[in-house]
Amino acid sequence: MDYYKIFNFNREPFSNSPDPDFFFHSRQHVGYLQKLELAIRLRRGLNVIIGDVGTGKTTLCRQLIRKFAGTDDVQTHLLLDPFFNSSLEFLSTLAEMFGIPKPVAGATEWRFRELIKKDLFCRGVDEGKTVVLIIDEGQKIPGFCLEILREFLNYEINEHKLLQIVIFAQKEFEQTIEERANFADRINIRLFLGPLDFVETRKMIQYRLKRATEHGNPSSMFSRPALWAVYRATGGYPRKIINLCHQIVLVLIIQNRSRVGWPLVRSCVSRISTGQTRRMHHKAAVAALIGLAAILVLALLPDRLKAWLPWHDVSKTASTTVASSENFAVQDKDEVGIDLPFPEDDAGRIDDVMQAAKYENQSTNQRITEYEAEYEAGYENQSINHRITKHEADIVNKDFVESSETNNFSVLLGKIRVKRGETVLDMIYKVYGLPVKPHLHDLILAVKQFNPQIGDLDTIYVGETINFPAVPAAASVVPDGVWWVEVTRCETLEETYNFVRLHAYSSFSLRIFSYWNKRESMNFVVLLKNCFVDEQFARKAIFELPEIVAANAKIVNKWEKDTVFFSNLPKINQSTNPKDIS
């Protein structure tokens, strides 16, 4: 369009179509794309990608198809709308997609299944091709279609599956999976696609401007406060970012302007706000007034009447308070001029606000500039390391310091972002195992000293980063004749912790086990919570795990002699019944 030439654009930079040329290579999207490509080439079968509306599932889907466009040995088939009224309709659609000649009129479901099975064997075995079925909007798949897909996954040879299935779906598909255990067990990888953080939001906007620009410097079009305002308003969701930026460009054209500042972003946000959002603000205001009135009434009550209230003295008895993201957002209201509800449960965004809040006495431009520089330079890690060095003598006892220096392991085990409902004590139990009381006191003290940025460990916020020191376990000798089941091995403590979080409600119990030795260096593994006095029971436990969990599981019986453990060992009962060992 001619009006885009005003900004030297050769095409629309913020089109809402999933154009692969505008695919922004965020760390999450690139990592997931690589995992999917590897799973397809290894012919692992079923893969599921779940994410909120607008996180870029469709764009990732198109990019995956593009990845195999130039290869003859991989044939991709895209199903955009997986809702069907009957099994026969679904099977006939698949047969048509695979290029199978139509059978005679009145063909049964069995006939279609046999035709598809024969076609998959022909292409997968005789021709050596990989057949991929990619399904978008997977949350629409009826139950009978899932059962057919499960049957297709049984079409295999000794080496691999004959049909590769990739499903992109919204969050409600998780419930569907949980209700079908025989389908869930066949999932090779299950990935969760989340929103972008602030830095990637900024880079995505600049990337799209650069792709659409013929000449000039597109990065100067948005001021830094404007980029921050876009991020705050959209929560880092790519679709919302694109839609908001499209409106901003239109306003620039209408007002004959070339520079975007945060007031312009705020104006555009107000313009595209829906009536539902306004009603939500109205309800929130009414609720706030009611709450204020209740507080005033309670304040006037005499103490003898307050004692009869059911929540009286709750604040004195509560051991730990975890603030919700909504409460935290109230404290941060209008940090850069955007008065919008803060998105829920995004650790990165809340941490961004905490960092930005350090500069509340400075100008907006100065706050954003300094915050962004520190974010990209890894300021957070540098400051933590500096504080650890400064307070090392106060953090841990002499034996701990000498042990870390002698064995050359880091004094910092790792850091974990807090999720809703978590407490510091609960996190300590999960990271270090169930410690004995004297050692528990030392652990709490060490964690407190490693987190000087948190005034009170009993009051933590969703999204805060908790640092965990590498405190050697109270008992560091593994008894002989005990077998453990190692489920997976991870790169960092947080990755290990997230794995345990993911399977928190599974039928099996997991525990984190961290250790160091000279040959392997630092290790973060996930073990079954129970250990076994008989190897046969350990093998049986692996057999009873879901296929996707058991794929990388192995039995462990020995560690290196110089191993230093950072997780407390459970109490070992000399029983032949694995249920008695915890």
Q: Convert 371-430 into a string of H (helix), E (strand) and C (coil).
A: HHHHHHCCHHHHHHHHHHHHHHHHHCCHHHHHHHHHHCCCCEEEEEECCCCCCHHHHHHH
Helix or strand run (H / E) with residue 18:
none
What is the Cα–Cα distance from 89 to 91, expressed in whole angstroms?
A: 6
158-200 pLDDT, tens digit each: 888 999 999 999 989 998 998 888 899 999 999 998 889 888 9
E-state strands within 177-240 = 187-193
20-42 pLDDT, tens digit each: 778 888 888 888 988 999 999 99
Domains and CATH numbers, the chain: 27-193 (3.40.50.300), 382-582 (no CATH)
Position of tokens 């916020």?
461
User: What is the full DSSP assignment across 305-345?
Assistant: HHTTSTTTTHHHH-S-EEE-HHHHHHHTTTTTS---PPPSS
First to last CA, the chain: 68
**Position 407 pLDDT exceeds 60:** no
> SS3 of 143, please?
helix
State the pLDDT confidence band at 304, using cuts at 50, 70 and 90. Answer: very low
State the pLDDT confidence band at 272, using cuts at 50, 70 and 90. Answer: confident
pTM above 0.95, yes or no: no
483-533 pLDDT, tens digit each: 889 999 998 999 999 999 888 878 888 999 998 888 888 889 999 988 888
Q: Are 145 and 93 in contact (CB under 8 A)?
A: no
What's CA 61's distance to the chain center, in Å? 18
Whole-angstrom CA distances from 39 to 34, 64, 249 are 9, 12, 40
Which tokens belong to 368?
Answer: 């954003």
> SS3 of 265, please?
helix
State the pLDDT confidence band at 77, using cuts at 50, 70 and 90. Answer: very high
The pLDDT value given to residue 473? 82
What is the Cα–Cα distance from 563 to 518, expressed in whole angstroms?
A: 8
The pLDDT value given to residue 312? 43
HEC string of 509-543 equals CEEEEEEEECCCEEEEEEEECCCECCHHHHHHHHH
CA atoms 190, 92, 94, 46: torsion sign:
positive
